[in-house]
Amino acid sequence: MMLKIKGNTFRSSLMACALALASTTALLPATPVHAQARALPDFTDLVDQVGPSVVNIRTIEKIAQGGASGEPDEEMQEFFRRFFGQPMPGVPRQGPRPNRPQAPDEERPRGVGSGFILSSDGFVMTNAHVVDGASEVLVTLPDKREFKARLVGADKRTDVAVVKIDATGLPAVKVGDVSKLRVGEWVMAIGSPFGLENTVTAGIVSAKQRDTGDYLPFIQTDVAINPGNSGGPLINMRGEVVGINSQIYSRSGGFMGISFSIPIDEASRVADQLRASGRVSRGRIGVQIDQVTKDVAESIGLGKAQGALVRGVEAGSPGEKAGIEPGDIITKFDGKSIEKPSDLPRLVGNTKPGTKSSITVFRRGSSRDINVTIAEIEPDKPTKVAADRDEPAAKPSASAAAKSMGLALSDLTDAQKKELKLKGGVRIDSATDAAARAGLREGDVVLAVSNTEVANLKEFDAALARADKSKPVSLLFRRGDWAQYALLRPAR
């Protein structure tokens, strides 16, 4: 069947459709290409806003000269006397040495970095590694004025330093809120890569809270950061500084798409202390910590793999005085959850020494709160490991339960308890089969079985007999000064 339409009527209908289509097209939004163009970030205003606050930092070191010009130094002369039996050619054999003036120390360029102005009266923030070892620090402003800077203080743990120049009316940066920074957000860096001043690069935030150090959760970006960018600012789209460019991941020394910046809130806390006293005071409780694995968390009833496993407690430390024990899992500090081990040193380190804090530990299947007085951090000390001594050992024992796990055990002697500072436990004399697979070895001391403390062989056997053999059996043991968990999985 064919529909017939008169000519005029058809032409009128066609024109009406064309007009309707044209009006509809006029109401459509701009093309996707234009929309995308408008969405691209424009950094020009940010450069104008922050650029005057970014400085170039050059460092100089002095190289000591051995003696007067043309005269060999004493070490070289001594080398010739000892190995050749005669003085160096051209050096008199006898007679008093002439009293000649020492050659002046030689000044050599050491490196180039970046920094940014914290305050209008001349305080500048940069990286500690930029100024480390420098005998002289020179700061060049974007207007080409150059100043000799005074080092206010540097903190190697966080890689933050503050220097001071004698100038006023300087354009200081605006500090942003790191907590509002989002992964995927555009950011910009200004610095002096390879000595090229006022270089601008941009990218996005790749990750936050990236663990690469004890005290700092870094901001990871794909902003091009190269040698010389160190100490420069990382800037958000509001023109605020959110970080200090500090590290790169590189196999060649150049940019590979992974850069790390110190969060500005962490850096500001350090800078405030450096400006106030020239040093940073950090808290400590004196415990050595490790990660809590998923298997260990499930086997001891913690459930979620979280917290910091206490492997050792320093003698006389705040932790020991408060009653923290090896094997404890610290889950909270002053009410703040410890999700991973690195959270604990950051929270404790940011606590003022002398403060009384609350620590929640998971021990033997239940949580308890412990009050501890924070002390000031000290330089790292080498770990002391208990030495084996020629002492009469208790007769080895291998009950049926222990034997099924591949263990031969013995009670600790009084001398061993005194040396290890333990009230009890059982010593592993040999470990095979399931025990060996769990990583246990001769000399380890078992402190607890399935959250039950064991002081001797009798208690060990009783605790092992009560354990659910259908699940891995957790053993808290000590090796030297370190405590850790092992999971025994007997073969079926």
Which active-site residues does the annotation give? 129, 159, 230
How many angstroms separate the CA atoms of 90 and 98, rounded?
14
Nearest by Cα to 363 from 322, 320, 330, 318 = 330
User: Using an 8 Å Cβ cutoff, are 202 and 187 in contact?
Assistant: yes
How many angstroms separate the CA atoms of 95 and 372, rounded?
69
Please report, for the chain, how many H helices and E strands are present, in that order. Answer: 13, 27
Burial 390-427 (b: 16+ CB within 10 A, else e): eeeebeebbbebbebbbbbbbbbeeebbeebeeeebbb
How many angstroms separate the CA atoms of 400 and 404, rounded?
6
DSSP 8-state symbol, 279: S
Strands 308-313 and 329-333 come out as antiparallel
CA distances for 318 relative to 201, 258, 306, 308, 354, angstroms: 47, 39, 23, 17, 10
Nearest by Cα to 446 from 434, 461, 432, 433 = 461
CA distances for 265 relative to 113, 173, 454, angstroms: 21, 14, 46
User: Using an 8 Å Cβ cutoff, are 237 and 41 in contact?
Assistant: yes
Q: How many alpha carbons lie under 13 Å from residue 152 in its C-beta half-sphere?
A: 23
User: What are the start-end ranges of the H helices in 224-317?
Assistant: 264-277, 294-299
DSSP 8-state symbol, 165: -
DSSP 8-state symbol, 208: E
Nearest by Cα to 111 from 91, 92, 133 = 133
User: Using an 8 Å Cβ cutoff, are 330 and 305 in contact?
Assistant: no
Neighbours of 137 (CB within 10 A): 25
3-state secondary structure of 392: coil
